[in-house]
Structure 1
Amino acid sequence: MQANGYLLPANEAANHRRTRSGEGRGSGEKAKPSNRVRLNGNIARRKPGKRICEYWDIDLPGFGLRVNPGGRRTWFVLFRQRGKLRRVSLGTSKDITPATARRLARAKLAEVALDGLPTRKKARAAQKSSAPLIRDYAERFWADYSRHWKPSTRKRNESAIFKEILGAFGDKRIDELAKGDILFWRDSFVERPGVFNRTLPVLSVMMGYAERLGLRPRGSNPCKGTPRYKRKPMERFFDSNEYARLATALRDYEAEQPLYVAAIRLLIFTGARCGEIEQLRWEWVQEPRLMLPDSKTGAKIIYLNRQATDVIAGLQNRTPRGLLFPSVRNPEKPIKLSMHWPKIRNRAALPDVRLHDLRHSFASVAIRDNISLMVIGKLLGHALAETTTKYAHLSDDIVADAAERVSGSIARLIGLDR
């Protein structure tokens, strides 16, 4: 540990631990080795012993966990401040997660390290700024911005703003939020990485809009450069046997729910998004195309092949206007394919397959048929070419085969194939 500063020296930490556990310095007993570990959820769940035990983090000096025989586990931070040894409790393991405890410990140690330094910068900030709190700014941002989002995006972003962002930064002024705050906030999402990855872009947009309103300096967006959590891609591609099993399951289920089966077949043959097929209307059917006035990426054309055209032709009660796949209970509302998909995929022995994987599989088959990524992007309705490049790895075998054929032709031309 750092000496003569604000963190506890290693020898004093050892003496402090022995004193708190009842071991006298002059008793002649040999000191027990400290429990130095990486404090995480696994350590917090360890079964308590018959005596008080304290674990010390190997990465953050002074950060510890005290476990009582009765099972109470308390996070704490130990440091030296102005010559005195201090221990601050951060909360119990039931109340806060290991990541939050670590963040609080790091913040406390940083505060102690700055103790006694000039505070002129803070004084200036307190005098000058009349910027609103993020809690108040969020209301204006929502009123200005949410109208431009689609309903599903609006619902997701409402939770991100009013639950996650305001829960962490609601009482800060809009011009106070700094890069360090974002990094500390990121640490609290260790157990919810997907939530952070979805919330960070929303906060970034909020900060960018605040700059345009003059509430923050230009180019001061604290979210820029903050890394997202790396997650395993949730992509699943059908092979020929799985397509056969799915086809059998759809035939078996058709007598029970013909409308749902028809919609799923249209997903299979077009590679469209689930919501695009659920909300499809007859006035948008202009064979051999579906002319969608709006989608996730704006207006979109879905090209109908023979199989997709046959699916639409087989629908009953065709009308000039209205939904192709209306709900039985309320014809004005579309069906929800997610209601019956679990039964269908279980019949096909494909319990891990999502409806969106039909779209991924459409792209993978196109790759195997030597269709270029540019054309696949057009078929899927990608607004950006970069979106389609995630399927590029599927074409490795095709590219390798092409390279083999080209090199073979060159070899024949220069007489090296003999």
Structure 2
Amino acid sequence: MRRAKPIDLATIEIASVDLPAKGERLLYDAGAQGLAMRLRASGARSWVLLEKTGGRTMRRTLGNAALIPLDAARRMAGTQQAPSPTPSTATPSAPLFGCDARIADVMPRFLAWGEKGRWKRSTVRQMRSVTEGHILPALGRRRVRDLAPEDVTRWHLDVSAKSAAARMALSTLSGMMLYAESHGLREPGSNPCRGLRKKQRSNRGQLLPAATVRQLWAALDRLQERFPDACDAVRLLLLTGARRSEILGLEWDRIAGPRAVLEDSKAGPRTIWLNAPARAILDARKATAMGPLVFPAPNSEGPIRAIDRAWDRIREEAGIGSLRVHDLRHHFASLAVSNGIDLRLVGQLLGHHDLDSTLGYAHLSTGALANSATRVSGLIDRALRGKTGEARHA
């Protein structure tokens, strides 16, 4: 297979690069010899280094491309390929960390590095919280180079037993270890957090009864004049499967025909697909819009932040008990999966960063699979009985 031409990966938005439909593909970097970003259909993006050894090309994984910036990946690639400098040609430079650096020494610099536009403010707050509450008290005095997978496993089990923040704590520690690798404190690919599941899979999804959806829609019609913004927002949530923050923060110039393109959502850039009823709601609001926001706050320059009070009244009017606004997103996903739509497509509709986030709905696909199997077996049975005309038109 012919190797693709290298490109300068600094000129593209890595998070928005299309994933392959199946398997994997490589994007070769023109800025560092042998460096490539591996894209997998599952959503995973990682840095790999291709080296020629004994006439064969060997591939080495450097780490997660979502956590290791391009410049760090290029340095890692150069470190692996370049020969050790001789005393006469070496350029003296002060290393950022000593070889005996402890987790308490490295973690503050890692968080400060990520805070500079790489992470959302809410993410930074959560990472600092788990660092102070769970990572530094237990592991802060450990040398970064000494932390082993069994140490992380014991620590993670202990945190999981007493806190719901175990996932964030593990992700934060894992990110710091990748940062340590890029600064030479650990060997590339030696992250001791690797293999521990950061996201516990569980059966997700709540397929609302058709009667409940009709009750909700009728309640929205009755309360439209009293709560126009909240009712329109709820309708759009039900029709698109979008997150509440994505709908409430929507801007008119992000809407183009059947889609709304968001630069910054929970999992990065993503597209919200708008069906005909959703576009009709937006067209009606556009006719009376006075500014750049679809849902402007009445007493401030920003968007509406919450619809909780209106939602309580809508639930009461519809008689639907303790249903949450976020359950509308689960209903959208559940309806899609239970009607046979591929999990990868559902993940794209929901704006999931990787397939693992969508797999929680996989249990809902069994009904669609059973129906498909029954239909296929019926076609085969008709063909075996010589009823080919019926099989073709079944």
Normalised to the residue count of structure 1, the TM-score between the two structures is 0.61
Q: How does 1:125-164 map onto structure 2 within 5 Å?
A: 130-146=99-115, 147-164=117-134
Following superposition, the deviation at residue 268 of structure 1 comes to 0.8
Letter in structure 1 aligned against 2:208: F
Does structure 1 residue 267 correspond to structure 2 residue 237?
A: yes
Deviation (angstroms), 1:152: 3.0
Cα distance in 1 for partners of 2:385, 2:278 equals 50
Contact 1:341 1:355 in 2 (8 A): yes
Distance verdict in 2 for CA 1:189–1:353, change over 3 Å: farther
Higher relative contact order (CA 8 A, sep 6+): 2
Cα separation, 1, equivalents of 2:142 and 2:341: 52
- 1:320-358 CA distance string (max 9 Å, x none): 752111222213243323454344334434444332221
Matched, 1:364 2:361: no
Could you give the per-residue CA deviations for residues 176-216 of structure 1, whole angstroms, max 9, x where no partner exists? 43334323323433544531122112111111211221123
Matches within 5 A, 1:236-251: 236-251=206-221
Q: Map Cα deviations across residues 47-74 of structure 1 (whole Å, 9 max, x no partner).
A: xxxxxxxxxxxxxxxxxxxxxxxxxxxx
Structure 2 regions of 5+ residues with no counterpart? 1-97, 388-394
Residue 224 of structure 2 contacts residue 231 of structure 2 at CA under 8 Å; is this kept in 1?
yes
**Aligned mate of 2:278, from 299, 308, 323:** 308
1:261-320 Cα shifts (integer Å, max 9, x gaps): 111111111111211111101111222321222323433222221211121123277447
Larger Rg: 1
Query: Is the 2:248–2:303 contact (alpha carbons within 8 Å) kept by the matching residues of 1?
Result: no
Shift in Å, 1:229: 8.5
For 1:332, give the aligned amino acid: G
Which residue of the partner structure matches residue 178 of structure 2?
208
Structure-to-structure mapping, 1:13-412, within 5 angstroms? 130-146=99-115, 147-192=117-162, 194-226=164-196, 232-315=202-285, 318-319=288-289, 321-412=291-382
Q: Which residue of 1 aligns with 2:9?
A: none
**1:207, 1:221 within 8 Å by CA — same for their partners in 2?**
yes
For the residues of structure 2 that align with 1:230 and 1:374, how far apart are their CA atoms? 19
CA contact (8 A) 2:102 2:142 kept: yes
Match for 2:192: what amino acid? P
Whole-angstrom CA distance in 2 between matches of 1:292 and 1:229: 25
| 1:179–1:393 Cα change, 3 Å | closer
Letter in 2 for 1:134: I
Query: Corresponding residue for 1:48?
Result: none
Supply the distance in 2 between the matched residues of 1:339 and 1:188 (Cα, whole angstroms).
38
CA distance in 1, matches of 2:103, 2:299: 43
Q: Is 2:205–2:331's contact at 8 Å kept on the other side of the alignment?
A: no
How far off its partner does 1:172 sit? 2.9
Deviation by residue 1:238-262 (Cα, 9 ceiling, x = unmatched): 1212212222332344333211111
RMSD over aligned Cα, in angstroms?
A: 2.9
Distance 1:236 1:346, change over 3 A: farther
* Residue 396 of structure 1: how far off its partner (Å): 1.7
Ranges of 4+ aligned residues in structure 1 off by more than 6 Å: none
- Consecutive unaligned residues of structure 1, counting only runs of 5 or more, are 1-128
Aligned-partner SS, 2:264: coil
Asked if 2 retains the 8 angstrom alpha-carbon contact of 1:285 and 1:291, the reply is yes
Distance change >3 Å, CA 384–CA 189, structure 1 → 2: closer
**Deviation per residue, 1:211-241 (Å, 9 max, x gap):** 2211234443222234569575453221212
How many residues align structurally? 289
CA contact (8 A) 1:282 1:319 kept: no
Q: What's the TM-score once normalised by structure 2's chain length?
A: 0.64
CA distance in 1, matches of 2:267, 2:146: 35
Structure 2 CA distance, aligned partners of 1:355 and 1:265? Answer: 11
